[in-house]
Every structure is written in structure tokens, then in C-alpha cells.
A = this chain, B = another copy of it.
């Protein structure tokens, strides 16, 4: 028996972008490409998705996305200001209408700051407004990463609806 398909926030985001003729770029840390993969699971997503940057290490967050080194040094990569600068940076670097940033701790181990596994910051920017949200997810690494990608798409949909 086929399972009924549950519509995801990522599918809703792609449909919103298509309807409004907008594009989105992704900057992913803890999700490591999952959001880009999920957007491009959808055939025809090339109309709304030019691409993104997987900034798994801090150096890429700074060198390519332009996140302030002082922020990374003082707050660490898993923080709301870093998520915001990732969203703003990837929007600018890729050249898209919207940018999405995701940074968090997917586990199973914490980072060296002692922040809890499941803590994720997502952000979405349109160049004028940058929204961000702190999320605390329960689950294993895979579940946390999936919820993080969905939460980021959800926030981008909210931004488009503003």
C-alpha cells in the first residue's frame, strides 16, 4: 500500500516561490545540504532555486558567506546572529530574492560550547527584512536535521506572506 503523501513546508515554499516568481538561496550548516536536496527533489525547482552554499565549517561561513569572524568567535556558530548573517550572505552571494540560513547542533554530540543537541537557529531574509527563529528539537540526528530544514522553509513562507 502506498503511504499517502504528506505535503511538506518545503513543497509549500517551492509552490509559493513559483506563484510569486521569486528565487531562494540556501546556506546550510547542520543540515549539510538537506534543504537544497529537498528543494531539488521537486521537479521544476530550477525555476526558483539557483543554488546554495553548504557552510559546514566556520571558515566557509566567514570566507564565502561573509559572517563576521568576531560573531563566530564570541557567540559560536550556533547562534541567532550567525543564522541571520548566513541568510543575508547567501542571498547576496548567490544573487537570489530570498536567502535562508540554518545553523544548529544535530547531534549525537554537542559542540564545544556545551549547547544542547537539537538547538537550531533558522533565518530567512529578503534583503529588507531578516527573520530568525530559535528551535529546540527532540530526536535523533536525522530527525533533527529534517525538522530544521522544515522550520527554515516555514519561516521563509512566513516572510513571503508578510
B-chain residues with CB within 8 Å of residue A80 when the two chains form the complex: none
Given A32-B36, A94-B60, A108 and B43 contact (CB-CB distance below 8 Å): yes
Q: Is the CB of B32 within 8 A of A54?
A: no
Number of copies: 2
Q: Which of A58-84 contact B (CB under 8 A)?
A: 59-60, 63-64
Rounded to whole angstroms, the CA-CA distance of A53 and B34 in the bound complex is 13
Interface residues on A, range: 35 or more
- Give the most central of A33, A46, A52, A55: most B CB within 10 Å: A33
Q: Which of B33, B46, B60 contacts A37 (CB 8 A)?
A: B33
Task: State the main secondary structure of chain A at its contact with B.
Answer: mixed
**Residue A130 interfacial (CB < 8 Å):** no
B-chain residues with CB within 8 Å of residue A30 when the two chains form the complex: 40
**Residue A121 interfacial (CB < 8 Å):** no
B-chain residues with CB within 8 Å of residue A52 when the two chains form the complex: 33, 53-54
B-chain residues with CB within 8 Å of residue A95 when the two chains form the complex: 59, 63
For the complex of A and B, list the 3 residue pairs with the smallest distance between their C-beta atoms, beginning with the closest.
Answer: A32-B40, A33-B36, A33-B33
Can you list 9 A-B contacts (CB < 8 A)? A32-B33, A33-B40, A33-B54, A40-B54, A43-B107, A43-B108, A46-B57, A60-B94, A64-B93
Which residues of A come within 8 Å of B, CB atoms? 26, 28, 30-37, 39-41, 43, 45-46, 49-57, 59-60, 63-64, 93-95, 107-109, 141-142
Given A33-B37, A50-B56, 10 more pairs with CB closer than 8 A: A30-B40, A33-B34, A33-B36, A41-B142, A43-B108, A43-B141, A46-B57, A51-B54, A51-B64, A54-B54
